[in-house]
Copies of this chain bind each other. A is one copy, B any other.
Amino acid sequence: MTTQPAEPSPRRGRGRPGHDQAAVLRAAVELFNRKGYDATSMGDLAKELGLTKPAIYHHVTSKEQLLGQALDDALDELTAVVTEASKDRAGGTSAYGRLREVLRRSVEVLVAHQPSVTLLLRVRGNSEVELAALERRRWLDDRLAALVTDAVEEGALRDDVPATLVSRLLFGMVNSLVEWYRPDGAYDRAMVADAITAIAFDGLARHEA
């Protein structure tokens, strides 16, 4: 269930003095995901933290700053994973091996940073901060498509589906995690990563069943 938007209110009992930056950011991301970024005001955030509206500005300069920090949190992790997977051509690891690895590690990032990745995947480009994030997402998409192409070219993957389409669908499957994965649910991250690689590479059909 969710709380309703409400008037700015004076400090409430659950507010604690001395919020650190990380706690403010966590509360902001949770609120952005619940209400939508555009519909969330600094007044809403102050209320959520049990602060007065003026007091919130001791912790943060603007809503955009919090959005930028959250999106960078998600993007920095995903960029590290994709950069690692994109190199190593001379090192002997096949593109296929690196693609499997990037899928597994993406699952780990999504589970460990689920709130900020959720926010990232909902970005629509309504501000400079969002447009910059979309630009970084495009870079990731391009690197992933290139990795799929390399895996096709080395003969490990079927070549009858366009690599960019494969890449969209694979990471669409991974990204869907943010909508339904619950850390306290029935599946741990290893099970999810195993299921994704099993479906993606070997398929669900019993061959010759």
Q: Which residues of A contact B (CB under 8 A)?
A: 1-2, 4-5, 33-39, 96, 121-122, 124-126, 155-158, 160-162, 164-166, 168-173, 175-177, 179-180, 186-187, 191-192, 194-196, 198-207, 209
Contact = CB atoms under 8 A, between A and B. Distances in A.
Contact of A169 (B121, B122, B173, B202): B173
29 contacts: A2-B126, A34-B124, A34-B126, A35-B38, A35-B124, A36-B37, A36-B39, A38-B39, A39-B39, A155-B209, A156-B205, A158-B198, A158-B202, A158-B204, A158-B206, A161-B199, A162-B186, A164-B186, A165-B187, A165-B191, A169-B176, A171-B176, A172-B172, A173-B173, A199-B199, A199-B200, A201-B203, A201-B205, A207-B207
Contacts of A161: 194-195, 198-199, 204
A133 to B, nearest CB: 14
A34 to B, nearest CB: 6
B177 A35 contact: no
B34 A36 contact: no
A191 B160 CA distance: 11
B195 A169 contact: yes
Given A34-B124, A35-B126, A164-B186, 10 more contacts: A5-B38, A34-B126, A35-B38, A36-B38, A38-B38, A158-B204, A169-B196, A172-B179, A200-B203, A207-B207
Contacts of A209: 155-156
Contact of A166 (B4, B179, B199): B199
Contacts of A205: 96, 156-158, 201-202
Copy number in this complex?
A: 2
Q: Which of A158, A168, A169 has the most CB of B within 10 A?
A: A169
Given A157-B204, A202-B205, A166 B195 contact: yes
A6 to B, nearest CB: 13
B126 A156 contact: no
Nearest to A100: B205
